[in-house]
Structure 1
Amino acid sequence: MTTRFSIFQVDFEGEDKDTTMTSTRPNDPHIIEKHWSHPDHPLELLQFIINEHDNDEDYNNTTRGLICDGCIQPITVTHPSYYSCTQCNFFLHSVCATQLPGELFIGESSLHPEHSLTLSRNTRFYETVVCGVCGCSTNGFYFNCEACDMKIDICCTFLPSRIKYKSHKDHPFILRQVSDDACCVSRTKITGGVEYGCEICSNFRIEISTVFYPNTMKHKYDDHPITLRYPPFFYEGAFYCELCEEQVNNQWWLYHCDESDHSFHSSCLHLLHRMKLGGTIRIYINDEMHTLAFVFKMNVRTNSPLFICGNCGDAYTAGLFFECDGCGILICDECVRKIDG
């Protein structure tokens, strides 16, 4: 893939050759005293290094812990230069810290050329916006159009206008307005206003978020790497998703592990892939101070007990919560917004 930012790792090959912005620069400052996105504490320039004695489990645990607060992508050895706040769980790829333009002027964005766009971030780490391109919620950086009240996350902002896609290699794809509401790959509803469409097969379309699905990935529900599989499948029996327990259509994409024979809906594995979790907040609940971590909870079994908010008492099958590591109390995000507001 090639985009303006090479850190946005996607399993496609773009034809847009604008690669003027790279992940590192020799003149990046060692210390940024007051970054616009994190003015309370200085940011220090560091290098991500994996010890040669670390095993695969150590590596995956480390990379899961270092998530850029700008693009919400992992910080890895591929693009090792990053800024860190020593007092917070706050990290930025060096490119996200120093090379993003503060404003895209009228005509500079092919996704929204009518108005200028301003680089923005919500004040609280748990506040989210919905990207007007991919339709996903994010608590990372985004470009904002005040005139239209439209937000575009930074990964989508710099998508190439033309790509070659891995499962449809013979034809080029172009970035265009949505032509239908169903993605031909994930079979899910296209929630954003833009898609990648095949120039030759006019009715073949891919939602933007699906383009970012990696070929292989690690997941906490499987001990082995799981692989993205393309239909048709020749398999006796049915596939059932390990997360939602619903049957997986054998004409749809799925993630599968041959060693454990586990299958997953691709969409189930990529819930909240534009959200950084784990941030903490200290608030009083029932006159007692708690340190709560931002988490996502989902019942993976149909008969699992509901998640009960310790403040309002509402019950949920899934959602964003704040969890106390000490006593285990869960507080729904709506309650935290009211208390912290």
Structure 2
Amino acid sequence: MAQAFTDPLKLRFHSDDEPAEKVINYWSHDHPLFLTVVPPQAKNNNMPTDDDPITVCHCCVRPISSSTYYYSCKHDGCSFTLHKYCVELPRTLQQHALHQQRDHPLHLVKLVHTFLLCDACDKRCNTFFYECGQRDCYFRIDVNCAFLPKIIKHEYFHKEHHLVQHTGPSWISRCKICEQNFYKHVGYKCDACNFRLDLHCALKSPYSLPHRYCKGGHEVPLMCPPIEDHPEDFYCEICEEEMNPLIPLYYCGKCKNSFHIRCLSRVYRYENYLREGSLNDPYYHNHPLTFVRRKKPSKEVCYRCNGDINGFLFLECRTGNCSYCLCLECWEPHPEHI
């Protein structure tokens, strides 16, 4: 599967140079952290092909195997891990392009027992983020969005010009691909063409994705019009709504199946959310449920919304042969579960 761009910190800070310090004390953690080397076979495959859980960094919430080196806690019962480059993140950003108050510095903060909504992507974050230290200024941005690329070139949606990062009012911030507004949140634009992309369509829609509707097990490619040999009417196989034939879509030429980009490439609000352990919530399921990330076959989906859970954080039943799975967007936690 052609992976979407989901790891801006790796692009900005990654280095294969071995750290000089083998043991460190990190400012947000009570125990020492020890340098660990990722095995080459794991480093070359960030999304395992088997059913093993995906271990993530406790800062950026991306697979720990995406970096050659990481630091981990060896204290009994503590699973705290950080990429080498996340350890090296600056504690203070003197200014940030997405913050309207350009003279206000942003400080790196660790959340405890709560979550916030990132002002750039509007997704939940409960690990590390940058916040404005000025009184009555509530700008907060998770560490991934803090280091998004300022300029991109999109190979599918806008080949003519580069796209520049921006935020803006809703009347000029409507995505040309998914036709959704991204008011006050980050996107990319080409002023010469009056072309706008929201963050998901710009950076997080893979060039191909598997889907259970395609019986042959092949992946569904992202395609731009015109689509050859397409049925006369365009209807999304997931939402069953009629589609605009003039905008890009996922289309399987073998099965003649069409999908909206947002229907097949899921916008998951818990992408930057970290949870571990288990809970009992009889409203949803009679057995205990465990928080886990893992590679799942495309046929295995959330039992409630029928949505994709592959690689996402979800709740899984591990009782006997029970295969119940629940995505976090369908789980409405009680306050004590947040």
TM exceeding 0.5: yes
CA distance in 2, matches of 1:89, 1:260: 44
Residues 153-232 of structure 1 mapped to structure 2, 5 A cutoff: 153-166=142-155, 167-179=157-169, 180-201=172-193, 203-219=194-210, 221=212, 223-232=217-226
Residues 249-328 of structure 1 mapped to structure 2, 5 A cutoff: 249-268=244-263, 269-272=265-268, 274-276=271-273, 279-282=276-279, 291-294=288-291, 298-300=304-306, 324-326=317-319
Q: Of residues 6, 10, 13 in structure 2, which corresponds to 1:7?
A: 10
| CA pair 196-181 structure 1, distance change in 2 beyond 3 A | closer
Aligned to 2:295: none
CA distance in 1, matches of 2:259, 2:20: 41
Q: TM-score, normalised by structure 1?
A: 0.68
CA distance in 2, matches of 1:57, 1:153: 21
Aligned to 1:131: 118
Aligned to 1:119: 108
Does the 8 A contact of 1:41 with 1:85 survive in 2?
Answer: yes
Amino acid of the structure 2 residue aligned with 1:110: A
| CA pair 284-155 structure 1, distance change in 2 beyond 3 A | closer
Give RMSD over aligned pairs. 4.2
* Partner deviation per Cα, 1:60-98 (whole Å, 9 max, x = no partner): 347971333332334456x433344564665433211x2
Identity %: 27
Q: What SS class does the counterpart of residue 267 from structure 1 fall into?
A: helix
Aligned to 2:131: 144
Does the 8 A contact of 1:64 with 1:74 survive in 2?
Answer: no
Aligned to 1:233: 227
Matched, 1:101 2:104: no
Aligned to 1:310: none
CA distance in 2, matches of 1:59, 1:171: 35
Identify unmatched segments of 5+ residues in structure 1: 9-18, 302-319
Deviation, structure 1 residue 220: 6.3
Deviation, structure 1 residue 28: 5.2
Amino acid of the structure 2 residue aligned with 1:253: P
CA distance in 1, matches of 2:273, 2:84: 18
How many residues are paired up? Answer: 298
Aligned to 1:50: 41
Amino acid of the structure 1 residue aligned with 2:290: A
Moved more, 148-157 or 259-268: 259-268
CA distance in 1, matches of 2:211, 2:118: 27
CA distance in 2, matches of 1:160, 1:57: 21
Amino acid of the structure 2 residue aligned with 1:227: P
| CA pair 281-51 structure 1, distance change in 2 beyond 3 A | closer
Q: What SS class does the counterpart of residue 290 from structure 2 fall into?
A: strand
| CA pair 88-48 structure 1, distance change in 2 beyond 3 A | farther
Does the 8 A contact of 1:171 with 1:199 survive in 2?
Answer: no
Deviation, structure 1 residue 236: 1.7
Amino acid of the structure 2 residue aligned with 1:270: R
Instruction: Give the structure with the higher percent strand.
Output: 1
CA distance in 2, matches of 1:33, 1:334: 36
* Partner deviation per Cα, 1:102-121 (whole Å, 9 max, x = no partner): 1212xx31222231212223
Q: What SS class does the counterpart of residue 50 from structure 1 fall into?
A: helix
CA distance in 2, matches of 1:323, 1:198: 43
Deviation, structure 1 residue 219: 4.4
Q: TM-score, normalised by structure 2?
A: 0.69
Deviation, structure 1 residue 278: 6.3
Identify unmatched segments of 5+ residues in structure 2: 293-301, 308-312
| CA pair 44-57 structure 1, distance change in 2 beyond 3 A | closer
Aligned to 1:314: none
* Partner deviation per Cα, 1:183-233 (whole Å, 9 max, x = no partner): 1122222144333211312x2111123221244354464633332222332
CA distance in 2, matches of 1:323, 1:164: 38
Q: What SS class does the counterpart of residue 187 from structure 2 fall into?
A: strand
Amino acid of the structure 2 residue aligned with 1:109: H
Deviation, structure 1 residue 57: 12
Aligned to 2:69: 81
Aligned to 1:16: none
Deviation, structure 1 residue 240: 4.1
